[in-house]
Structure 1
Amino acid sequence: MSQSLTKTNAPNQVDCLLIPLKDKNLILPNVAVAEIVPFSHLLTTASSVDWMLGRIDWRGVPIPVLCYEMLCQQSAPAPNPNARFAIINGVGNHQQMPFYAMLVQGIPRLIHVDKEEIQAVDAMNMGQFDQTAVTIGRDPAIIPDLDLVEQELINHI
């Protein structure tokens, strides 16, 4: 009896999440996001920066929550009934913070990105933590610099 394996992704294809923010979308590889959870009560934290919103209890572990827009020196998003938290896998080897959460403004959308589909574009108002502005098909998005985001977060927790 023989079985054939079918591969759902082409070799140059990456599963990504298009994550809605206030006025733009972030794009992250699917493996960078541990989970999308409903907006919940924030535990306060004694942070000296306004972009650190507090902490949430995720799977029994308190993790820090940041607002990406405010981190990038933009105004805070208006209250949104569709807001969620994206639980991000830490990219560094920081035992004190293997995960953190980012406030997002809706339900992220799964997209399959072919290497040939992604085009870098010139974008105005790129923030310090925005690595590259791109379009994927018709969707504009920002690739964030997660290393820099995580380092800034660690400096303030």
Structure 2
Amino acid sequence: MNQSLTKTLPAAPDQVDCLLIPLKDKQLLLPNVSVAEIIPFSHLLTTASSVDWILGRIDWRGVTVPVVCYEMLNRQTAPAPNPNARFAIINGVGANKKMPFYALLIQGIPKLVHIHEKDIQDVDAMNMGGYDARAVTLGQDPAMIPDLDKVEEALLATI
């Protein structure tokens, strides 16, 4: 086998590897490094949360991780049950020992995209939620860039 075919090329310095993550009615755009893993939908453990957007908890690699419904967090209706649903395990941005990870309920398999700054175009979006930082398009793909700091702050306020 040609050894040059087995080597992985490093990303260009001005390129960011990202994931387009499918939700009910939109996609989130997240840097690949913010997502620890995509796992199949599994049984949710109950939680004593006082907010409806925390769906429960899952055990992931020996850690109990809260599960967030991003749509409900943004005061939208919950997605219908979906056989393609999965969890995206998100690395906490605040390095908080109480919550190093959390999970987002997602509606399918994310798509890996390689982004250059020139590829992202801001758009005016009437349906931006309180936890969306920017509405953008990548070519023909509309997406929301979430405010992960704000999501994490909301989660930490509930535990």
In structure 1, C-alpha distance between the alignment counterparts of 2:99 and 2:8, rounded to whole Å: 37
Structural mapping, 1:5-154, within 5 Å: 7-154=9-156
Deviations 1:97-128 (A, max 9, x none): 00000000000000001111101110011100
Taking structure 2 as the reference length, what is the TM-score of the superposition?
Answer: 0.94
RMSD value, Cα: 1.4
Taking structure 1 as the reference length, what is the TM-score of the superposition?
Answer: 0.95
In structure 2, C-alpha distance between the alignment counterparts of 1:40 and 1:120, rounded to whole Å: 35
In structure 1, C-alpha distance between the alignment counterparts of 2:8 and 2:106, rounded to whole Å: 34
Which ranges of structure 1 fall in alignment gaps of 5 or more residues? none
Residue 58 of structure 2 aligns with an amino acid whose one-letter code is I
Q: Which structure has more helix as a fraction of its residues?
A: 2
Residue 44 of structure 1 aligns with an amino acid whose one-letter code is T
In structure 2, C-alpha distance between the alignment counterparts of 1:91 and 1:8, rounded to whole Å: 24
SS in 2 for 1:116: helix
Deviation at 1:7, TM superposition (A): 4.4
Deviation at 1:54, TM superposition (A): 0.5
- Structure 1 residues 45 and 116, CA gap change in structure 2 (3 angstroms): same
SS in 1 for 2:118: coil
Task: Count the aligned residue pairs.
Answer: 154
Deviation at 1:8, TM superposition (A): 3.6
In structure 1, C-alpha distance between the alignment counterparts of 2:21 and 2:58, rounded to whole Å: 19
In structure 1, C-alpha distance between the alignment counterparts of 2:158 and 2:130, rounded to whole Å: 17
